[in-house]
Amino acid sequence: MDRYRPIYHFTAPSNWMNDPNGPFQWKGEYHLFYQHNPAAPEWGDIHWGHAKSADLVNWTHLPAALSPSRELGEHHCFSGCSVVSGGEVTLFYTSIGEGDRNPVAGAQQWMARGKDLRNWRKAEHNPVLTSDLHGDMNVTEWRDPYVWKEQDGWRMLLGGTEGGSGCGMIYQSDDLEHWTFRGILYRGEESIWECPHLFRFGDQAVLFYSPSGPVRYISGTIRNDRLTDIVHRGTADYGGWEGYYASTGFVDEADRRILLGWVPEGSRGSRFPEAMDWAGALALPRIVDLKPSGVLSMAPIPEIEALRGECCRFTDLAIGQAPVHTGVRLTAFECVAEAGRRAGGEWIISLFVSECGRESTDVRLCPADNTITIDRSRSSLFPGVHISPVQGKLPAGANDDPIKVRIFADQSIIEVFVDDETCLTARVYPSLPDSSGIALHADSEMTIAKLEIWEMKAAAFAAESN
């Protein structure tokens, strides 16, 4: 068994994967596409991988949905979305070639259609959008279409850079084939926007984007194809390239807004000593809701709890400067901890602790500084592995409100949720074979009101039978 390969997070059968693309649910079945190199565990020759699921936990791998049409000058099928309409599914994606068709200045937007969800026909009139739509406006890094329906027709959102700023560009169509440019939905302060997408909550809208760093969101109102009346700007996940990037979302048949994101593999570094035939994973699907303050609440889908195994429970656990070892040794688990905000100073949950103590990854909560950190400084003895911290802000709360932390560890992935609002994801690669302990300590004496550690079983991943 590959000790670093996740057992309950989605991965491709082998080789490279990155961004999730075009998820949807149709007739009770979930479908997921993703950026995929079927030939090697490194980026290149980008196809659209495809999988289906009844519960977003257990998956059946399907044949690749899209492959580059090299006879038409296409070398990569970059990210995009799906639209379910009229008894068929339409895939929109960014088509990339070489020379004048490069991703910086020559991207095109293509479409493909399918009814049986196995065979996809690229439109003969591709490309359906080119940069000529922008007139004199110089838009670069133009990619990642996201389509939804308004009362007066279809809208498409694309990321790009214009005038040195990352932007979300918006387009309109009556038939999904002929598009007009409506302008800039919103201009950011960053230099690039990738994978823009949005959720609607009644009259409110939340716009997500990936600015070559932690995924961000903006909540406000869309009026006349502009995002206005901004209520809040937030971070969907503080992981960025170290743990969470290129999010996308969809609304399922239960009207749940579900967020997906890519867990990159770059934290291995360039000198990783163990060969692996895979790279990249997906974070756990998250249910997203909008609070009146404009802040998002985010929590893992409850279906993931079906993988829980044996549980070890503690109540009113006293901890101090000396580590308190739980006696639990696992590399795939869920940990839930609750403590009062005034219970003490910084408290630490140490994961993947080695018997000798030389390796551990510490989740540090510091209410005084309003921070939560995945401290990777001692996570691995391998040279070149990334050990920089991933840090976020603790959600606001009254002094008498407890802090609830949920940690999902899966071989080399750590996802942290605090009060269903702050999310952090990171990769870690322990080198020692016994780095599997779980311990707690604090900088002063305090009490952990509740601690639960659940063993997590493996999700089912299978190939479709003929």
- 190 by Cβ neighbours in 10 Å (0-12 / 13-18 / 19+) ranks as middle
DSSP 204-219: EEEEEEE-SSSEEEEE
* 19 catalytic residue (yes or no): yes
DSSP state of 5: S
What is the rounded distance in angstroms from the CA atom of residue 228 to the CA atom of residue 241?
A: 29
What is the rounded distance in angstroms from the CA atom of residue 209 to the CA atom of residue 203?
A: 20
DSSP state of 268: G
Going by C-beta distance under 8 Å and a sequence separation of 6 or more, which residues neighbour residue 309? 454, 455, 456, 457
Show the tokens assigned to 98.
């070489």
Closest CA relative to residue 363, chosen from 428, 314, 268, 455: 428
Cβ neighbours of 263 (radius 10 Å): 31
Rg (CA), the chain: 22
User: Active site residue: 2, 19, 116, 175, which one?
Assistant: 19
Show the tokens assigned to 253.
């048949």
Give the residue numbers marked as catalytic.
Answer: 19
